[in-house]
Structure 1
């Protein structure tokens, strides 16, 4: 099928592109679906100085190298927006805004994050005309002008200090009392010692003013309730990031209250064959280098999953010999004891069965397929078709009798 792939990666930022490189190199038919510019937020960064091997490189140039590398391994790219997914079956289904459907054995979520909006009057209307969310992208456009920064966390203060390299003056609007910032102490100390950085405390921005371009902001003092206007030519919002995972709401994928996806060390989600990498997952560091590492890990894990899936289909579903699917959980002693008993019976008797062990912790889809919710459990297959289930008794003779009949 033209729309059927081994691996589909949703998102074309550093995590997605890194995963694509590993997927393509592993000879998996790989598709990257990305709704925006290839490179994600990294593509909007003017200068990157902390990616290994590049003393200094622009975000667009680095992402161009990632893209070319993935293409060299035959990875396919599609510029569309994913609006829904169905992870309930072995073949995952991806649906786009244009009504197309794609199928994959494994899916990597690498859809990243986006700036949080305050949704105040003037913010959306003047975006790109003085309203900005990335200092390294846009600070140079405010050479010699007055700029307002909204926020007081690490990103806001550090980006604010970067903007002072270009702007005449940078005013930071802070919700808290005087002297209290949400950033780390080192950045706070540097900010207070920066002569071009000023602060307005106990305040919030209620409106961005201007017709075609930003001309100022309307401020509200949270203690007195009074409002005032502050002239400026640019407003940078740094009030946090949100993961681009809204389309996953009804997918069955576990997400935290903010929408980030928790994973294990292999980037596996709670759903078998579905992985998350980069800024949309729960993690400590959100940088290009860590996103690339996530993508590589996820792709290697996906490759192994696909191989195991093919192996199961070939050796079990297409096998002429009867098969015992033995479901177990290493945390349940009863299931381990039963497995030992079953192996002992096999060693003692000649039989016509093949054993395939299924770890409930890692093969959730297989457990769901056969409706297994507790262990030990044994499903007997004949040429891929279920013929019976064993009573998982610890009585050796009773168990042996079930196998011989």
Structure 2
């Protein structure tokens, strides 16, 4: 259906140039809306870990025409090996798109994916870096925004979309609530950073468990570097307090001390952490907002419904959520209330499904004792044998087993047809 009636004055401010923001800007701009994308950082952020693109999101990147650009910068990761302190392989899961491996064909460093979406959307939106929203005031015809920059510039928009991440300041401002109000912590923290590949590194990712709920995951990035994740479960609140200080040096030293004596290649990895200029600390948590909109402000991606990295669906949710929101805005452009209600009604059941994580996670993946690590390695050994033997493929097609364990068991979302974004000639 063609949008010959698109209101030329439809003005949308998107806050956050990560994954969801640029995807939203692309589709709204394609339909002819006037889009401004605001990013607090003074540049496009290249920090972050390796992410993947699943299910409906793959269809959307094809519609955007960026699938080939994404494939060019994927990590080409062959799979994941689970190793012990002597680098003995206990289990290995080769790349798969069937849900039997942590690695898919669309593994990509988050910053590289953000850049692909930026390149696709930069001519469809006005990008403003190094600024943020200071205040929001709704009027009868729109919403007035005062920017945080020294000029304190004021602009008026029809809608504001917040795509900032889990701990969004703008969400707290717009909803008049505490920054952590919708955040459900899982008490796990991940320090992400990169360093140059060494002799022991290849195209396989390697995961190592150490006692006291510590873990190290190192992955190739496709550009001669290793993307490392140092993981730790902290139920004491210590890391939460240190993270609040935003002192990078203090955070680095905390992790270096935390992993002291952990064995394996820890010393080499901690040396990489010490020298890293792309160190990034992420809290593993979920966002569960009671509603995704208030007035003319709407949330998308991690800001609204972060499923956590444990789900493997955070990037997919951001892409899919942004596409669905854009479609509803364009379809109901003269009635923002109907548009935002339709967005949430369409997406929430799917989001609630992907937010379900394995019982006992993340503690089950980062055991406290050596005995617990031994049980985990044995389980993974058996699981990898089942996957390699093909038994999993057979069982995944049988009734309840398939619904519970195969990738096809996840709820499917019917995406709006991309023709909604076509402009009349």
TM superposition score normalised by structure 2: 0.41
More relative contact order, 1 or 2 (CA 8 Å, 6+ apart)? 2
Greater helix percent: which structure? Answer: 2
TM superposition score normalised by structure 1: 0.43
Structure showing greater Rg: 1
